[in-house]
Amino acid sequence: MDYETLMQIFGSTVRLGTPLLLACLAGLFSERAGIFDIGLEGKMLAAAMAAGSVAAMSGSAWVGLVAGIGASLIFAMLHGVASITFRGNQLISGVALNFLSSGITVLVAQALFGQGGRTPPLAGAARFNPITLPFAEIVKDVPLIGPLYTEVISGHSILVYAAMACVPLTWWVLYRTRFGLRLRAVGENPAAVDTAGVSVVGLRYAALTITGVLCGIAGAYMATALQAGFGREMTAGRGYIALAALIFAKWRPWQALGATMLFGFFQALALRPDVVEKIAHVKVPVSMLDALPYILTVLVLAGFVGKAIPPRAGGEPYVKER
């Protein structure tokens, strides 16, 4: 495999890793606050449908993005009502919302456009188009740095750069602000936070709000940047892969970037059977390549994680004054 191809694969790694990264950070906020969220998948899907539909109707990707975030927030708040207010089982609530989202996105898209549950293909301003960073044309022919800059660093949509910026931002919020300290505390020992006079419920809803916004961006990216429109089940398990990445990253933001880019790389490889064949020297069935990201996810979960210790109060509804 030559350098050029490798850079192309890295470029699509970034593109495919971005929704995983956003969803992973989304999960990081809710799980650090003690709320398991299996429903990342459903939130992304709902956001993808809303963003795709609204972008198709308004012709603006930005309006679509706002709609996507709105749809994702609705699902996040439903999860909050079920798992925070009514202390339901967080895993079951997440699974339920994933099914709800899977069905309702098709219903709404069909009712709006009548194209078999898809949105019309998006083009022009209805999509987030690639941005060419400055000097990309000039350094293009410089060896080594040229392809790296033009293929991997430049030429992505603005949401990719926004997702990258979310990594240091998450780190800063989590470890350098009072809100972040309380958020982490509420995931470890909510009773202590409660004793200090801070609202456990309030903090957890705040965390889910951030989760909703980030999943919204992830879904909008799927429908208006990565692909040109919404299609049935288009998230294809990315919410779950993001959860696996979150465990792999042991609930830390910089490691989340590494983990999601690794999974993004697996997905990028699955798109290039020719390259895989050249390296493996055997004909690899396409269906095996499709399964590759999931198999590697299981391998990562099984072996390389080491001891992943989740936030201590994760999954436990907080009951005041027992």
Partner 1 sequence: MRKLPQWADVVLVPLISLLLAAIVAAIVLLAIGQSPTKALGIMVEGAFGSANGWGYTLYYTTSFIFTGLSVIVAFHAGLFNIGGEGQAQLGGLGVALVCLALPWPHWTVALLAATLGAAVFGAAWAAIPAYLQAKRGSHIVITTIMFNYIASALIVYMLVDVLRPAGQMDPASARFPVGASLPALSDMPFLREFFARLNPDGTPRLTKAGVAMYSNVPANVTLFIALAACLVVWLLLWRTRLGYQIRAFGKSEAASKYAGINPVKITMIAMLISGGLAGMMAINNVMGSAERLLQNSAEGAGFIGIAVALMGRNHPFGVLLAALLFGFLYQGGAALGLNTTIPIEMRIVVQGLVILFTGALDQMVRMLLVWLFSFGRKAVA
Residues that bind partner 1 (CB under 8 A): 38, 78, 81-83, 86-93, 95-104, 106-108, 110-111, 117, 237, 240, 243-244, 247, 285, 287-288, 290-291, 294-295, 297-298, 301-303, 305, 307-308
For the bound state, the minimum distance from the C-beta of residue 243 to partner 1, rounded and expressed in Å, comes to 6
Which residue number, 60 or 89, has a Cβ lying nearer to partner 1?
A: 89
For the bound state, the minimum distance from the C-beta of residue 174 to partner 1, rounded and expressed in Å, comes to 22
Q: Which residues have C-beta within 8 Å of that of residue 120, sequence separation ≥ 6?
A: 56, 113, 229
How many residues are present in the chain?
A: 322
- The closest alpha carbon to 89, from 317, 318, 319, 243, belongs to 317
Which residue number, 169 or 319, has a Cβ lying nearer to partner 1?
A: 319
Q: Is residue 53 within 8 Å of 113, Cβ to Cβ? A: yes
Which residue number, 50 or 82, has a Cβ lying nearer to partner 1?
A: 82
For the bound state, the minimum distance from the C-beta of residue 161 to partner 1, rounded and expressed in Å, comes to 29
Which residue number, 146 or 314, has a Cβ lying nearer to partner 1?
A: 314
Which residue number, 78 or 208, has a Cβ lying nearer to partner 1?
A: 78
Which residue number, 274 or 304, has a Cβ lying nearer to partner 1?
A: 304
For the bound state, the minimum distance from the C-beta of residue 261 to partner 1, rounded and expressed in Å, comes to 19
Which residue number, 14 or 245, has a Cβ lying nearer to partner 1?
A: 245
For the bound state, the minimum distance from the C-beta of residue 91 to partner 1, rounded and expressed in Å, comes to 6
* Residue 46, amino acid: A
